[in-house]
Chain A
Amino acid sequence: MEQPELELNKKVGITLSVIVICAVVFTIVFAERKAPVAAANAGTAANAQAAANNQNSASNSSVQSSGVTTTGPASETNAGGMMSSGMPPADMPKSPMMYAYKNGTYSATGSYMSPGGEDQISVTLTLKNDTITDVSVTPAAGDRTSERYQNRFISGYKQYVIGKNIADVQLTAVSGSSLTPIGFNDALAQIKAQAKA
């Protein structure tokens, strides 16, 4: 009695499995053919969803201005990378409605637990046409260890200054370190002379 039932079960099982596998394969093949459009839509939707998720799930963050809560480096690649898949080439001018994010400056402060206690880190970034044009990350570390790590994190996302010749820049005035007192310069010169001798 057992053996025939088992045989039948086996056959049913195998058949069902094959049907399921075929269905899966067909779905994949079918989906891939339509991939470009579907993925782009999925990408846009996922991006928007992720943004919404960021905003909702960032329970420890206080957003200082209306906008997207970002995590600095990740958003930099997202803003450029995700949006460019399936969208028109980057150099084609976009109408304002095609940008995912409103231009503006956004700030957020995130809290986290460190071995030394609760710490905070603030991120301010400026978005223009879906590109981050300025980013500033400020540590608010409570203890020195956190501050060290925060500074390491921050220094990875900094921009660096370069100098331009004064003659090439139209200026009314220049502000810098206070010009040294004449006496100070004299003293410095004397000391340098002494040091040589």
Chain B
Amino acid sequence: MDQSSQETRFDFDAIGTRWRIVLHPKFDRPQKARLLYAIKARIELFDKAYSRFREDSLVTKMSRETGVFELPSDAEPMLSLYLELYRRTGGLVTPLVGNLLSDAGYDARYSLRQKKELEVPPSWDEALDYKQPLLTIKRPVLLDFGAAGKGYLVDLVARVLELNDIQEYYIDAGGDILHKSKRPIRVGLEDPINTKQVLGVCMLGTGAIAGSAHNRRAWQNFTHIMNPKTLVSPTDIAAIWVTAETAMLADALATCLFFVPPHTLAPAYDFEYLIVRSDRSFERSAGFPGEIFTQSSALE
């Protein structure tokens, strides 16, 4: 990735965040344009189905009516992961938090003001019945796929690249990174209290890293991470990073770790983690790849 003469690079905005894609080889302009078109088309297809921020999306439609809806064919990996995590976290991680987030202010218009009394979201079985490709909405509910959606989309964009015979790439969607290459890259772990600094460096080989923190999307008493049972945003953890084989898993588990301890997920999934608490103490899995900067860094 450091031979810039041999690489192609894309920088653009999509799904409300900044994307950077770097890949080998260097394409000529028409090839580059075609590839960018394919990538953006794939993102648009995903966004049109799963975004709760668009008036024309399937998710918005499902929030207004009951009935049986047909989901796109790419829904299965994401919905089944959500169902697993819903069960493993005792319902703390759930796609049914759209109304809660919206009522608290994180709505399609970013009003950032709590509009009404917050309600505990329904349970999965109360609102949904899922059997790919059909999703039955038993009562209107605004689904939010923020926990795993962006990561999944990164994996899907990677598939577009691979379909175009691209074997080495780096996809960064607002800090969720999927990397495939022979040599690892150095990923700085952004310090949530000072974004000009990093509190460590992760050596990322082929695989994904997802970072989750509250510092940017925060308003009034809330952040974009809300506990559906207590109706407040957790405050004890400042930032979490997870590395895993896919961006979807890394993204989803990073959200889970705000609510459940790592050992409840470790038996089922292959991942490494770093949790930084609000008091600046940290906890890392034994295999988390990289160096964390501490007062006693001299030991390394």
Q: A: which residues have CB within 8 A of B?
A: 105, 107, 122, 124, 126, 128, 131, 133-134, 136, 138-140, 155, 158-166, 169-184, 186-188, 191
| A162 touching B241 in the complex, CB below 8 Å, given contacts A172-B1, A177-B214, A178-B216 | no
Q: Which residues of A contact B186 (CB under 8 A)?
A: 169-173
Question: B216 touching A160 by the CB < 8 A rule?
Answer: no
Complex-state Cα separation, A161 to B18, whole angstroms: 27
Complex-state Cα separation, A178 to B212, whole angstroms: 7
Question: B188 touching A173 by the CB < 8 A rule?
Answer: yes
Task: Determine if B284 is an interface residue (Cβ-Cβ < 8 Å).
Answer: yes
Minimum distance in angstroms from A88 CB to a CB of chain B: 20
Complex-state Cα separation, A101 to B93, whole angstroms: 42
CB-nearest residue of chain A relative to B296?
A159
Question: B299 touching A131 by the CB < 8 A rule?
Answer: yes
Encode contact with A along B190-223: 1 for CB under 8 Å, 0 otherwise: 1111111111111000000111111111010000
Total number of residue pairs linking A and B with CB closer than 8 Å: 174
Question: A160 touching B280 by the CB < 8 A rule?
Answer: yes
Complex-state Cα separation, A118 to B295, whole angstroms: 36
Q: Which residues of A contact B197 (CB under 8 A)?
A: 163-166
Complex-state Cα separation, A136 to B283, whole angstroms: 6
Task: Determine if B16 is an interface residue (Cβ-Cβ < 8 Å).
Answer: yes
Q: Which residues of A contact B112 (CB under 8 A)?
A: 184, 187-188, 191
Interface size on B, residues (CB 8 A): 69
Q: Which residues of A contact B239 (CB under 8 A)?
A: 176-177
Question: B295 touching A160 by the CB < 8 A rule?
Answer: yes
Task: Determine if B165 is an interface residue (Cβ-Cβ < 8 Å).
Answer: no
Question: A176 touching B219 by the CB < 8 A rule?
Answer: no
Q: B: which residues have CB within 8 A of A?
A: 1, 13, 16-18, 20, 109-113, 150, 170, 172-177, 185-202, 209-217, 219, 239, 241, 261-263, 276, 279-286, 292-297, 299-300
Minimum distance in angstroms from A178 CB to a CB of chain B: 4
Q: Which residues of A contact B279 (CB under 8 A)?
A: 155, 160
| A175 touching B190 in the complex, CB below 8 Å, given contacts A134-B284, A155-B279, A165-B196 | yes
Question: B175 touching A179 by the CB < 8 A rule?
Answer: yes
Complex-state Cα separation, A24 to B197, whole angstroms: 66
CB-nearest residue of chain A relative to B243?
A175
Q: Which residues of A contact B295 (CB under 8 A)?
A: 159-160, 162
Question: B202 touching A175 by the CB < 8 A rule?
Answer: yes
Complex-state Cα separation, A183 to B111, whole angstroms: 10
Complex-state Cα separation, A128 to B199, whole angstroms: 22
Q: Which residues of B contact A181 (CB under 8 A)?
A: 16-17, 110
Q: Which residues of A contact B212 (CB under 8 A)?
A: 177-178
Q: Which residues of A contact B215 (CB under 8 A)?
A: 176-177
Q: Which residues of A contact B300 (CB under 8 A)?
A: 133
Q: Beyond A171-B201, A180-B217, list 17 extra A-B contacts (CB 8 Å).
A: A107-B286, A124-B286, A131-B299, A138-B261, A169-B198, A172-B170, A175-B175, A176-B192, A177-B213, A177-B216, A177-B239, A178-B176, A178-B212, A180-B216, A181-B16, A184-B16, A187-B112
Minimum distance in angstroms from A111 CB to a CB of chain B: 14
CB-nearest residue of chain B relative to A134?
B284
Complex-state Cα separation, A177 to B16, whole angstroms: 13
Complex-state Cα separation, A122 to B262, whole angstroms: 11
Minimum distance in angstroms from A183 CB to a CB of chain B: 5
CB-nearest residue of chain B relative to A141?
B261
CB-nearest residue of chain A relative to B194?
A163
Q: Which residues of B contact A163 (CB under 8 A)?
A: 191, 193-194, 197-199, 293
Question: B195 touching A176 by the CB < 8 A rule?
Answer: yes
| A166 touching B282 in the complex, CB below 8 Å, given contacts A173-B177, A177-B211, A178-B175 | no
Question: A187 touching B170 by the CB < 8 A rule?
Answer: no
Question: A174 touching B261 by the CB < 8 A rule?
Answer: no
Minimum distance in angstroms from A44 CB to a CB of chain B: 24
Complex-state Cα separation, A177 to B193, whole angstroms: 11
Minimum distance in angstroms from B147 CB to a CB of chain A: 12
Among B210, B215, B216: residue with most chain A CB under 10 A: B216
Complex-state Cα separation, A191 to B197, whole angstroms: 27
Question: A176 touching B175 by the CB < 8 A rule?
Answer: yes
Question: A126 touching B286 by the CB < 8 A rule?
Answer: yes
Minimum distance in angstroms from A68 CB to a CB of chain B: 15
Question: B188 touching A178 by the CB < 8 A rule?
Answer: no
